[in-house]
């Protein structure tokens, strides 16, 4: 597999960064993970917009334009013959002097890697069992909106899911609301309204979350952004997660208890599949 | 400068890790920074204890024993002829499959690097101006106690200090209390009691914080662990910070307002200097 690193296509073994790189030292960077369908990254512009906004907040200068990155991504997919894949793009602040201050770190590192898509072998969309993790996300945290390289709470949550044989873990925020899962956004259905926590609850501004809200709008399904307590979540009509790799994944069990199931989830999955089929640009 | 990387001493230019290393991807690692005096890392055992506790929480297996690490550190200091320095030790979970789950990442990366000590040229201990940063730390966060590689809030806080010409930035926790600075622990003096936020307030369990509390005990200075609001902090008798590189640093200004000054700060600095002089082990 070839890797894109700072303008070059190199082998995985050669794809290395300095031990003084700030993303290695402090997680001082951002990333995006996109599903590639038929050679084309899905929702490329949404991912770029989030990356650029995050880079502005962190004050990291993107070393390439959108068009250059798009062309490098195209070349990477072609060179690796992986038209059905996941594309990860990492932007690190790069090497700088010791210490937290970003002063003097002016040469960002940009990496793109390709990974086999989980469903590229024709696997059907799975249904997931989730557990509630004990690690909390700060509410009202502007950094959380972007896919930054500080993912220890998510890693710890995911390890708790692994330990109990679950597929994914839900995280609470510091206000005690269930707000997202380790690598996916949370939705539930209550009174036939599709609900999801608001962006200021401490969650990632997920691109697939946005697609789900757009689908609801186009199908005239009412939506609402609000918080939910761990006590109320098991009482809703249905729960699902959104993520780039799988799209919309239904949750069947929460902490080993079966959840309600709503036909709306399949309806949304079909609409999502339709969007993917039409996706070409 | 030579770097220690996974059992070898190599040049800075050769000291690289894979772009698939999880500390580069997610900040999935821990570190320690120690002041080296006369060739000997100060409070080595306290730093090792914290590293080991953090590694247990993260479920990362340290690839070397304390004694092996101590010997590698000694060699690194000798080979670089830097008996007065800062030693950074980084433990990353290493390379693993894509995704947050730590499953299958079983070969940790261990790096040690040396850096000139800020005061090795005989500079006196500085006095600092600090600002209050807008980034918040989650209270009751077990991950925060350890020096983990997720330092974006601290980096952002430090960038805010840089932008306003200050030396350091204070951070609030999600309960609204001022709890620590970007790379130092917070102390203040009120009614001749040395006060500092408790460990469950979201702070790093700083080694120098521990030394300060030990000094207070040995000098019969009363101490108290409690929170403080941003409104009350400017009203105390004196404010200081503790950190490995400088020890005890007095804070003269908070958000451009001069702070009260207490003779206790100099007394603690003298006691700290005495401990360093006696440090040999």
Q: Indicate which CATH number applies to the domain containing A257.
A: 3.20.10.10
* Domain end marker among B115, B146, B174: B115
Which of A20, A135, A151 has its CB closest to that of B26? A151
Yes or no, beta carbons of B58 and A152 under 8 Å apart: yes
Straight-line distance from the first to the last Cα atom of chain A, in angstroms, rounded to the nearest whole number: 25
Mutation for A interface: B25, B82, B171, most A CBs within 10 A: B25
Is pTM beyond 0.90? Reply is yes
In order of A48, A102, A113, B138, the CA distances from A31 in angstroms are 10, 18, 11, 23
| pLDDT, tens digit, 9 for 90 and up, residues B2-15 | 999 999 999 999 99
Q: Looking at residues B80-84, what average pLDDT do you find?
A: 97
B185 strand-pairing partners: B180, B242
3-state secondary structure (DSSP) of residue A119: coil
Contact (CB<8Å) B16/A18 = yes
Residue A34 has pLDDT above 70, yes or no: yes
Residues of B in Cβ contact (< 8 Å) with A20:
12, 15, 113
A121 falls in which pLDDT band (50, 70, 90)? confident
B102 shares a domain with B131: no
The answer to whether residues B111 and B14 belong to one domain is: yes
Residue A122 lies in a domain: no
Task: Judge whether A121 lies within some domain.
Answer: no
Q: Residue A108 above 80 pLDDT?
A: yes
Shared-domain flag, residues A138 and A235? yes
Residue of A nearest to B167 (CA): A101
CA A34 to mean position of chain CA atoms? 8
pLDDT at A236: 97
Total count of residues recorded for chain B: 281
| Residues A117/A86, Cβ–Cβ less than 8 Å | yes
Tens of pLDDT, residue by residue over A139-165, are 999 999 999 999 999 999 999 999 999
What confidence score (pLDDT) does residue B122 get?
Answer: 83
Cβ contact (<8 Å) for A19 and B102?
no
Query: What number of other Cβ atoms are within 10 A of residue A72's Cβ?
Result: 18
**What's residue A123's pLDDT?**
87
Q: Mean pLDDT, chain B, as a whole number?
A: 96
B27, B59, B162 ranked by CB distance to A27: nearest: B27
Complex confidence, ipTM:
0.97
- Indicate if the pLDDT at residue B137 is higher than 80: yes
pLDDT digits (tens, 9 = 90+) for A6-23: 999 999 999 999 999 999
pLDDT at B95 over 70: yes
Mutate to test the interface with A, among B19, B23, B202 (most CBs of A within 10 A): B19
> What is the model's pLDDT at position A35?
97
Q: Based on the domain organization, do A273 and A135 belong to the same domain?
A: yes
* Domain range enclosing B149: 127-278
> The tokens of B66 are what?
């304390």
Position A274 pLDDT exceeds 80: yes
DSSP A12: G
Token representation of residue A223: 């939506």
> Residue B90 is nearest to which of A15, A25, A29, comparing CB atoms?
A25
**B contacts of A29 (beta carbons < 8 Å):** 24
Check A19 against B5: CB less than 8 A apart.
Answer: yes
Looking at the structure, tell me whether residues B131 and B94 fall in a common domain.
no
Render pLDDT for B201-240 as a digit per residue (tens, 0 to 9): 999 999 999 999 999 999 999 999 999 999 999 999 999 9
Shared domain for B94 and B141, answered yes or no, is no
Of B18, B115, B155, the CB nearest to A15: B18
Each residue's pLDDT tens digit, B24-48: 999 999 999 999 999 999 999 999 9
The pLDDT assigned to B123 comes to 87
Task: State the nearest Cα–Cα gap between A2 and chain B, in angstroms.
Answer: 12
Q: Which residue of B has its CA nearest to A117?
A: B98
| Pick from B16, B148, B150: CB nearest A17 | B16
Query: Is residue A77 located within the same domain as residue A142?
Result: no
| Angstrom distance (rounded) from CA A133 to CA A171 | 6
pLDDT of residue A280: 66
> Is residue A192, in this structure, part of any structural domain at all?
yes
Instruction: Please tell me the distance from the alpha carbon of residue A92 to that of residue A129, in angstroms, as a whole number.
Output: 34
In this model, does residue B277 exceed pLDDT 70? yes
| pLDDT above 70: residue B188 | yes
- The verdict on a CB contact (< 8 Å) between B139 and A183 is no
Which distant-in-sequence residues (6+ apart) come within 8 Å of A156 by Cβ?
A133, A135, B57, B58, B143
Given this model, what pLDDT does residue A122 score?
A: 83
Residues of A in contact with B110 (CB under 8 A): none
Please indicate, yes or no, whether residues B105 and B186 belong to a single structural domain of this protein.
Answer: no
The C-alpha of B110 sits at a distance from chain A's nearest C-alpha, in angstroms, of: 10
With respect to residue B109, please indicate whether it lies within any of the assigned structural domains: yes
Which of A20, A86, A183 is closest, CB to CB, to B100? Answer: A183
Mutate to test the interface with A, among B152, B165, B177 (most CBs of A within 10 A): B152
Is residue B280 over pLDDT 80?
A: no
Given A81, A115, A149, the domain boundary residue is A115
Contacts of B20 in chain A (CB under 8 A): 12, 15, 113
Pick among B8, B14, B100 to test the A interface (most A CBs inside 10 A): B100
A-chain residues near B174 (CB < 8 A): 138-139, 174
State the CATH number of the domain containing residue A87: 3.30.470.10
Distance, in Å, from the CA atom of B154 to the CA atom of B160, rounded to the nearest integer, reads 10
Q: Do A58 and B15 touch (CB under 8 A)?
A: no
Residues A137 and A261 in one domain: yes
Question: pLDDT, tens digit, for every residue of A172-201?
Answer: 999 999 999 999 999 999 999 999 999 999
Instruction: Inspect the interface and report whether the beta carbons of A15 and B16 lie closer than 8 Å.
Output: no
B140 with B197, same domain: the answer is: yes
Task: Specify whether A111 is located in the same domain as A132.
Answer: no
Interchain CB distance below 8 Å, B17 and A5 = no
| Residue B279 confidence class, pLDDT cut points 50, 70, 90 | confident
Q: Do B25 and A98 touch (CB under 8 A)?
A: no
Residue with tokens 């390289």, as numbered in its chain: A149
Query: Residue A86's closest chain B neighbor by CA?
Result: B98
* B122 domain-assigned: no
Pick from B3, B140, B182: CB nearest A100: B182
- Alpha-carbon distance B193 to nearest alpha carbon in chain A (angstroms): 31
Show which of B89, B115, B141 is a domain's final residue: B115
- Residue B135: inside a domain: yes
Q: B121 in a domain, yes or no?
A: no
Task: Compare all CA atoms of chain A with the CA of B6 and give the residue at the minimum distance.
Answer: A19
Q: Are residues A257 and A133 in the same domain?
A: yes
Does residue A120 sit within a domain?
no
Residue B13 corresponds to which tokens in the numbers above?
Answer: 């230019």
User: Which residues from chain B sit within 8 angstroms of residue A28, using beta carbons?
Assistant: 151-152, 155
Local confidence band at A279 (pLDDT 50, 70, 90 cut-offs): confident
As to burial, measured by CB atoms within 10 angstroms (0-12 exposed, 13-18 middle, 19+ buried), residue A218 is exposed
Q: How many domains does chain B have?
A: 2
Residue B159 to residue A102, Cβ atoms within 8 A: yes
What DSSP assignment string belongs to B12-50?
Answer: GGG-EEETTBHHHHH--EEEEEEEEETTEETTHHHHHHH
């Amino acid at each position: 597999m070839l890797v894109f690193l700072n303008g070059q296509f190199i082998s995985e073994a050669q794809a290395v960064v300095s031990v003084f790189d700030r993303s290695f030292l402090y997680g001082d960077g951002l990333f995006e993970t996109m599903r590639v369908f038929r050679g084309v990254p899905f929702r490329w512009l949404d991912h770029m917009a989030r990356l650029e906004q995050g880079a502005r907040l962190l004050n990291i200068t993107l070393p390439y334009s959108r068009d250059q990155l798009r062309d490098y991504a195209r070349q990477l997919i072609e060179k690796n013959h992986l038209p059905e894949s996941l594309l990860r793009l990492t932007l690190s602040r790069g090497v700088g002097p010791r210490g937290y201050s970003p002063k003097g770190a002016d040469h960002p590192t940009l990496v793109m890697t390709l990974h086999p898509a989980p469903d590229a072998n024709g696997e059907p969309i799975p249904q997931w069992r989730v557990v509630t993790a004990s690690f909390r996300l700060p509410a009202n945290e502007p950094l959380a909106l972007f896919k930054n390289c500080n993912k220890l709470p998510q890693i710890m949550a995911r390890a708790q899911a692994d330990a109990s044989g679950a597929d994914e873990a839900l995280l609470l925020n510091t206000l005690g609301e269930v707000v997202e899962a380790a690598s996916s956004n949370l939705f539930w259905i209550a009174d036939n309204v599709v609900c999801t926590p608001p962006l200021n609850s401490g969650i990632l501004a997920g691109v697939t979350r946005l697609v789900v809200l757009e689908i609801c709008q186009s199908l005239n399904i009412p939506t609402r952004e609000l918080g939910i307590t761990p006590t109320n979540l098991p009482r809703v009509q249905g729960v699902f997660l959104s993520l780039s790799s799988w799209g919309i994944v239904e949750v069947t069990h929460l902490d080993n208890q079966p959840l309600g199931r709503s036909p709306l989830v399949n309806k949304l999955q079909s609409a999502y599949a339709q969007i993917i089929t039409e996706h070409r640009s």
